[in-house]
Each structure stands twice: as C-alpha cells, then as structure tokens.
Amino acid sequence: MRLVADIGATFARFACVGEGGGLARTLALRCSEFGDPLAAVAAYRARLGAVAAFSEAVFAVASPVLGTQVRLTNHPWSLSGDSLREVLGVTRFAFLNDAQAMALALPRLGPDELRAVGDGAQAGEAPRAVIAIGTGLGMAGLVAHAGGWVALGGEGGHATFAPVDRRELEIARLLRDRFGHVSLERVLSGPGLVSLYQALCRLERSESEALFPADVSARALDGSCRRCAEALRIFAAALGAAAGNLALTLGARGGVYLGGGIAARIAGYLGTSAFRTRFEAKGRFADYLAAIPTRVILHPQPALLGALAYRFEDGV
C-alpha cells in the first residue's frame, strides 16, 4: 500500500490508497504542532488505529528536490528520504516538489473539480502549467510523453516580480527595501497578500493592522476594508501577468491551472478582476494567450492526488 504526503510550511497532509485506487484516510496536521516531520508521520500512523504496513511512499514537499535530503523553503523542517524509508519500512520512497505533484493530478481532475476563469479551450495534449499559491508560490509544467504525462518541476515562484504600473512600482520599491530581491512569491502568496496590504498602508502613511492572509481576502471580498480590497485587486492582476508569462514560457496551450487554498477562496473574484486582462496583455501574443484556458483547481488535496499518480518506474 502507498502512503502519500504533502508537506508544506503550514500543513502536513497525509493519505493512503483506498479501494478503487483513490485517496483514503486523509488527514491534515499543523506543522507548528510537531517538532519534526517524523513526529507528524507517527501521528498520522497512530490515527489509522494500528501500525499501518506501507510498501511505498511518495512525499510532495514545498521545496526544491535535489536529492534524498530536502529543506522546506518557508519552514525550518528538513526531511531525510533515508530516515523516512527506514521509519516507514517501505521498499520504495520518493520526494517530488509539491507543485510538480499538483501538475500530476491534472489528468485525474473532473470537470466539477475545476472552475474556469475567462475563456479559452484546452488544446488536446498540449503542455499544461500549474501555479500553486499558499504560504509560498510554486510553479510546474505537465507534458505528454509516451502515452502518459511527465511533470516538470521548477522554482518559478522565485523569479523576479515585474511591476506593470506606477502603483506596483511603488509597492515593489517598498518590498525591495524590506527583502532585497522581490520575487513573485513575495507578492503572490499568503504572506505576499499581507505584504501588499502593509505596503499600501505605508504608502498612505497609515497604520496597518496585524492581519492574516484570510483576513485580508475576507475584508476585500466583503468590502469592509479599502486597502485590503486594493491589495487583492493588485494580487489578482499580478497573478494574471505571472500566469501569462508561464503560459508563454511553457507553451501551455493545454491551460494554466491555479491551485492552493487562496486560489479556491478567490475563484469567483478572479473572474471579475483584472486577472484575465493581464494574462492576455502580452502585445503581439495577446491572441495566442486568449485561446489558452485558465482554471482554478477546486479539489481539496491535489498534491496528494498527484503523489498517488507518481510512477516509480520512470520517475514521473
């Protein structure tokens, strides 16, 4: 039996294979409640009610995967593939990037697990792209190969943020003073949404409140905070620009898919925002992008689903 996990900066999610080959016994644990990932794994196994016997395990991680040791980008945890293999008693173990895992889930998603943002139609087995928005920002691609699919991992979330208008330039200046390098993740993530709100408060010389990302989006959507509303407006527009860049880079005529809790929470808003306008605003390639669909992933655990789809035989 396969154990699958999605280890992020906020939650460690686990599941195993159920009847019919789908996800079963899913559980989300807060990383802050455990000293290390092995403790979280032990807690999941204890929840199963007995010492579960797994033959293989696939862990999706919010980190580059360069070998058998990984360090999460936005959390102090480090994970050892050798230690996990030993503790779990599995014969086969693999790490893969969490956005890469999300990409592997795309062929398994049904129409009711996706929400369209704007027009565009999927071009057969053309490449697809994923943007995973959470505590960090992940990007990945999916390409057809030999009757199946290969997921391309990357770290596009750490590419440089490119402001488009004067307001974004002012925000980028403040963020550069604070962080040095202003990556896309510094803007297009949960903490990035809060940073946008804080920067807008500074630009207007007003005090910011201690808000969480969910507070900013909630106040923006209910209209109770003008600066939160502007932060979300800029967030959606910048996300559209980044998604358009990724579509051009990968030739993702199969679509760009937005995953993560933030994307699902603002899915309706994205359809009325500047997301799609900025997605297509690429000069001579506006028509090329207009034909590409953009969709929000509504499945609650796409990275786990992708870890389930991972094939040890060819590493994809």
d(Cα 120, Cα 280) in Å, to the nearest integer? Answer: 11
The sign of the dihedral angle between the CA atoms of 89, 92, 96, 100 is negative
Alpha carbon distance 245, 14 (integer Å)? 33
Least confidently predicted of 16-25, 77-86, 192-201, 221-230: 16-25
Angstrom distances, CA of residue 51 to CA of 41, 46, 47, 238: 11, 7, 9, 47
Report residue 89 CA to chain centroid gap: 30
CB of 303 closer than 8 Å to CB of 60: yes
Predicted TM-score of the model (pTM): 0.94
The helix (H) or strand (E) run that includes residue 137 is strand 137-145
Lowest-pLDDT choice from 16-25, 251-260, 280-289: 16-25
Distance of CA 101 to the CA centre of its chain: 10
**Residue 311: pLDDT band with limits 50, 70, 90:** confident
What is residue 50's predicted lDDT score, i.e. its pLDDT? 62
Q: Does 254 have pLDDT greater than 70?
A: yes
Q: Is the model more confident about 205 or about 315?
A: 205
Phi then psi dihedrals of residue 28, to 5 deg = -110, 125
**Residue 31, pLDDT score:** 94
* CB within 8 Å of 30: residues ≥ 6 apart: 10, 11, 12
- What is the pLDDT, as a whole number, of residue 279? 98
**Domains contained in the chain, CATH given:** 2-103+302-309 (3.30.420.40), 110-298 (3.40.367.20)
pLDDT at 313: 72
For 12-56, the pLDDT digits (tens) are 999 988 777 889 999 999 999 999 999 999 999 888 876 568 889
> pLDDT tens-digit profile of 220-244?
999 999 999 999 999 999 999 999 9
CA distance 94 to 153: 14
CA pair distance 313, 19, nearest whole angstrom: 22
Q: What is the model's pLDDT at position 20?
A: 76
Contact 76, 67 (CB under 8 A): no
What H or E segment, with its residue span, contains residue 231? Answer: helix 226-250
Give the per-residue pLDDT at 21. 81
Q: Look at 126 and 123; give whichever has higher pLDDT.
A: 126
Condensed to tens digits (0 to 9), the pLDDT of residues 51-71 reads 568 889 999 999 999 999 999
Average pLDDT, the chain: 94
Q: Mean per-residue pLDDT for 70-79?
A: 94
